[in-house]
Amino acid sequence: MANKQATGVASKSAYLIAIVVILFFWQVAAWSLPDFLMPDVHTSIIRLWQELNSASFYEGLGNSMTRLGIGYSAALFFGIVLGLVGGTLSVVRGPLKAAIIILQSIPSIAWVPLFLILMGFGNLPIIVVVAIGAFFPAALSVMNATENVERVHISAARVMGASRFQMLKRVYFPAVTPELITGAQLAFGNAWRALISAEMIVGFSAGLGKSLAYSGEIADMTGVMTNILVIAILAAVIDQVVLERIKHRLLRYQYL
């Protein structure tokens, strides 16, 4: 318990230091540049407060979170399934892993023009781009962890007459859970960047990415910095509060 508390305090301190350093350099840049090029921290925070009291902000936030939730969930589901399949079936392991390694080298945003042509303007192309961005780290983490499952555990389960489904449920899935959670956090970072980038390009309806792009188009630098601030805060909260809490709950035995 003491180790868990010490780790939590250290993590919070690191984030606090990082925030102070980032804000300091932001303010230095604002002092060095004209106001119309770089607004100061205080001005951006005032704009953020105004945005928090507007209905349009929450509409865009809701749209972005919906796209992220659907795309990210789909990526984790298919990543776990294909990762387990690839890790347990030697016949498909090599080709599947090679395909994932090749395709993950393509930036998620590069798929946007293709999906716009195939799917039209709407939520679907953005969701698919988010899913693609998150899928590869999730699938690879599960596949690599599955390949490293202790053979003695596999042999013991087979001797006891476990079916293939029981092997997946009782042997492989528990063994890959730690790597899966790590992969899920990496996948979130990819999904978040893909979401913002896709919304900036597609921009057919309200969203965090569209708001950022629109502020840039009208040269509203206070709006640009405010949107960047919102994107950074949300990413940190989701990763360090939501995902970390899930991680600690599922792997609580490692934090005793």
Tokens of residue 126, six digits: 């953005």
pLDDT in tens, 17-45: 888 888 888 888 888 888 788 888 888 88
Distance, first Cα to last Cα, the chain: 5
Which CATH number applies to 40-255? 1.10.3720.10
8-14 mean pLDDT: 63
d(CA 207, CA 56): 9
d(CA 27, CA 84): 48
Q: Is the pTM of this model over 0.85?
A: no
Q: Is the dihedral of CA 169, 174, 180, 181 positive or negative?
A: positive
Tokens of residue 41, six digits: 């921290």
pLDDT band at 181 (very low <50, low <70, confident <90, very high): confident
> For residue 68, what pLDDT is reported?
93
Q: CA torsion, points 167, 173, 175, 180, in degrees to nearest 10?
A: 160
